[in-house]
Amino acid sequence: MTKHVCPRCGSTNVEWIIPQNWSKWECRDCSYTGPIIDADDDLIAEIKADWEENKEKYIEEEYARAEQMASGEDERLDEEMEIAEEDELSDEELDKKLEELDL
Ligand SMILES: [Zn+2]
């Protein structure tokens, strides 16, 4: 039996925050966001042990990553993904959409 767990701290206290995006999960215990993994009890124990041991290092890494995202280097920001989707519309559809937005 596997469970959905946070790949960082091994918690099963995870929530799917954006239904349209399978890779967006949030961990209630360590505030990790991103794709989660399926793990069995052995793996969960391993992740938890690793997390307890390297917690500070991981939090530091996360912080550095967040800073990088804030500076716009991450191409997978949701906003940019939406723009990419709009690019697939025809000019006519795009015009219509812009009209709707310009209330
Ligand atoms: Zn977690």
16-56 tens-digit pLDDT: 988 888 789 999 999 899 999 999 999 999 999 999 999 99
Q: Using one digit for the tens of pLDDT, what is the confidence trace for 50-92? A: 999 999 998 898 889 889 888 875 555 555 555 555 557 788 8
- In the block, residue with structure tokens 């709009």: 86
68 versus 11: the higher-pLDDT residue is 11
Question: How close is the Cα of 3 to the center of ligand 1, in Å?
Answer: 14
Question: How close is the Cα of 34 to the center of ligand 1, in Å?
Answer: 10
Q: Give pLDDT, residue 82.
A: 59
Q: Give pLDDT, residue 65.
A: 86
* CA distance linking residue 6 with residue 48, whole number of Å: 10
Question: How close is the Cα of 12 to the center of ligand 1, in Å?
Answer: 8
Question: How close is the Cα of 94 to the center of ligand 1, in Å?
Answer: 40
* Pairing assessment for the beta strands 33-34 and 37-39 based on DSSP bridges: unpaired
